[in-house]
Amino acid sequence: MNNGEKSQSRQAPRTAVSLAGLQSYFSKLRNQVFASLALVFVLTAVYAGSWWMDAGHSSFMQGEPAPRTYYSRYRMKYVDEQATRELRQKRQENLLGVLVREQDAMSELGKNLERLSAGEVGDILPSDLAALLQELSAPARKRVLNAVTDIGSHFLERAPGDYGADAVWRLLDKTGLNSAEKNLAFQIIDNLMKPVAMIDPGATSEYRSYIGEQVQPIERTISTGDVIIREGEIITPDIGAILRSQGYTERVFPYEGYLVLLVLALAWLVWYWWYQNRSSYRLQMKEWGFLVTALSAGWVFQYFSRFYGGEGFGILAMGAWLFLCFPAHIAFQLVLGAGILGALATAGASLTEIILSSTIALILAFLGYLLLPAVDRRRRLFWSLAVIGSVSAAIALMCRYGLGLDISIRMAATYVLSVFFWAILAVALLPIWESIFDILTPTRLVDLSHPSHPLLKRLQLEAPGTYHHSLMVGTLAEVAAEKLMMKSLLVKAGAYYHDIGKLRRPQFFVENQQAGENAHDALAPTMSALVIVSHVRDGLEMARKYKLPRRICDFIQEHHGTTCLQYFFKKARSSEQEIPVEQFCYPGPKPASRETALIMLADSVEAAVRSAGSTVLDTRDIQDIVADVIETKVQEGQMDHVDLTLREISVIRESFIESLRHMYHTRQVKPVDEKKPQDAQGRGADGTKI
């Protein structure tokens, strides 16, 4: 019993750990699972809706009257099975039978003809024919027998196929016999020839089959706009096949097609999960919501583009949104996979529409990967989409030509108008998605970075020193971000807004103070620390008021991490014995992304170089300051949550040094004192707020 209890006690922690691990795993996958289920639901709805809309307007049922007049959607060739069957049957019916020659009967026929020529009738002829022959006079009987012998020898020397009633009568007409004698001679010849030439049923059947096979299928061509079947006419199997080829939907729900679509969709989603996890790219909840919305809208647009001959150009808008909001390699997978699934879901049974829509998706994915990630202006986005759409339209027209479909000026104009319509819609809806899902596109980042933004205008007027500091930080960080292949536009925008909280009390920050003025002289150290630290909280409040994106708020919240104001802490400790250091520290959190970490370093470096002032004599001084700042941040653990490598930190350091060297190369400076000064806020020359 004790052993059993010990065993259970050993297994219980393992079970708990296992359940906790599973719970953590499924918690991470929750957004992916919900998004995938939503996409499968939307794709199912689009597929069912596509079938239902077609079933309500153009569906048909084989064997029933046509609900309306059906017209050809495109030029096509087809085999007229009914006309082909009728022609084969007619050719086969022309064959009466295959006559075969019996060798024994031919030998017997020769002997009988010799006996008849000698006047011997005997048992050669039936009694009725023999009686009629005996009733004739001797000269008439001789003429009839001679005619029979000559005609019988004629057919004996030729193939049995030459024998026939018409052929016999033609030969009898040449003998000079009267009608009664001809009739008697014909009956005698027919009696003698029956055993010699007879119809073989087996050979006849085989030859008729051969004749049917030699008849080529009858091909017919229908052009765009031709009537396939008129309303009220019965839909035959052949007409039903033509309607299916033209993309008209049958009234029976295509479960087989839906099953194929579902399997492909699940396989694509699993592939995308694996590819996204492999690339270490993670989506937040709102980004998953945007992904579902963009893909769903693209499928719906694909469906509607069918009704005016747009051939799936609706995914042009979806491609623009995905390439602007996600990394190019992720967007490529999404656009290509979703475009092909949309073609399968919206094209019905039309193979040509599936091919054309899939081709457009392929071209959009490749050209979008090359052109759209570099777009940072809305006007440039529109013209980039116009170029991509025009190339796709040209390739679609070439595909139509290769498939033998009609090409017209009207169709080309429809393609061009469709491209411009979806491009305009993509540009028009983009700000709505940016606002609803809080996503950052290059175009939105450019708008945020423009000096005309209300917050930046306030900085220029109310805190010009902070505004200039933000510009300098943005310049330092942007150059370094470009070298490290980071999102330079995001870094630049984050730098411009990271200190907007100083607008609440700008006079308490050294960059906004006039010479000889220091608002902290009249405040206690704890109050000074509270004012300085609160600019982070104030910045977040302003960001919410002006509806800045969440990623910009991260820069405001993380650019100081959990660093402490050591200067005011030491000043407070000099007058009070016990005071917690936490009152002089920023609440954090520490930087959680490479971009916010870069802004932290650039902010501290710029402040350190600026506070050093005239003590910076040459590049070596700048190198020392930059190295001290970065080393201090690393030692304090501010970079612990960021995956910056030593090589990348070295690149950042060299980039800062190079940029600062260009910024300060013309400045007149004084000799450096041995001890580095501190500014009014307690910011040392290493950039650390003390």
State residue 683's pLDDT score. 44
- d(CA 372, CA 358) in angstroms, rounded, equals 20
Residue 634 located in a structural domain: yes
**One domain for residues 456 and 374:** no
Residue at 237 is within a domain? no
Lowest mean pLDDT across 60-69, 501-510, 549-558: 60-69
One domain for residues 433 and 505: no
> 18 or 97, which is more confident?
97
Residues 384 and 484 grouped into a single domain:
no
For the stretch 404-416, pLDDT in tens is 777 888 888 989 9
Q: Do residues 504 and 529 share a domain? A: yes
In a shared domain, residues 506 and 654: yes
Q: What is the pLDDT of residues 426-476, one digit of tens each?
A: 999 999 999 999 989 999 999 999 999 999 999 999 999 999 999 999 999
Assess whether 459 and 551 both reside in one domain.
yes
Quick one: what percent of the chain has pLDDT higher than 70? 86
Closest of 292, 312, 283 to residue 40, by C-alpha: 292
Identity of the highest mean pLDDT range in 254-263, 353-362, 457-466: 457-466
Q: Is the peptide bond before 454 cis (omega within 30 degrees of 0)?
A: no
**Does residue 242 sit within a domain?**
no
Please, are residues 622 and 660 in contact by the beta-carbon 8 Å criterion? Answer: yes
Average pLDDT over residues 393-399: 90
pLDDT digit string (tens) for 511-547?
Answer: 887 766 777 766 777 888 888 999 999 999 999 999 9
pLDDT attached to residue 76: 84
Please indicate, yes or no, whether residues 435 and 453 belong to a single structural domain of this protein.
no
Residues 434 and 467 in one domain: no
Domain count within the chain: 3
Is residue 382 over pLDDT 90? yes
Is there a domain that residue 520 lies in? yes
In terms of residue numbers, what domain contains 641? 445-663
pLDDT > 90 in the chain, percent: 37
Other CB atoms within 10 A of residue 299 CB = 27
C-alpha dihedral, 635 to 637 to 638 to 643, nearest 10°: 100
Tracing tokens 């007027």 back to the chain, one arrives at 461
In a domain, 54, yes or no: yes
Residue 2's pLDDT band, with cuts at 50, 70 and 90, is very low
111 pLDDT tier (thresholds 50, 70, 90): confident
* Residue 549 shares a structural domain with residue 634: yes
Give the end of a domain, one of 413, 439, 465: 439
**Residue 549 in domain:** yes
Within a domain: 630: yes
pLDDT digits 0-9 by tens, 564-615? 887 777 777 777 667 877 788 888 899 999 999 999 999 999 999 988 877 7
Residue 79 located in a structural domain:
no
* pLDDT (tens digit per residue) in 147-206: 888 877 776 676 555 566 777 787 888 887 888 888 888 888 777 776 655 666 777 788
331 plus 385 within the same structural domain: yes
CATH code, domain with 48: 1.10.1760
Same domain as 343, residue 423 = yes
Is 550's pLDDT higher than 70?
Answer: yes
Same domain, 480 and 569: yes
DSSP label at 408?
A: -
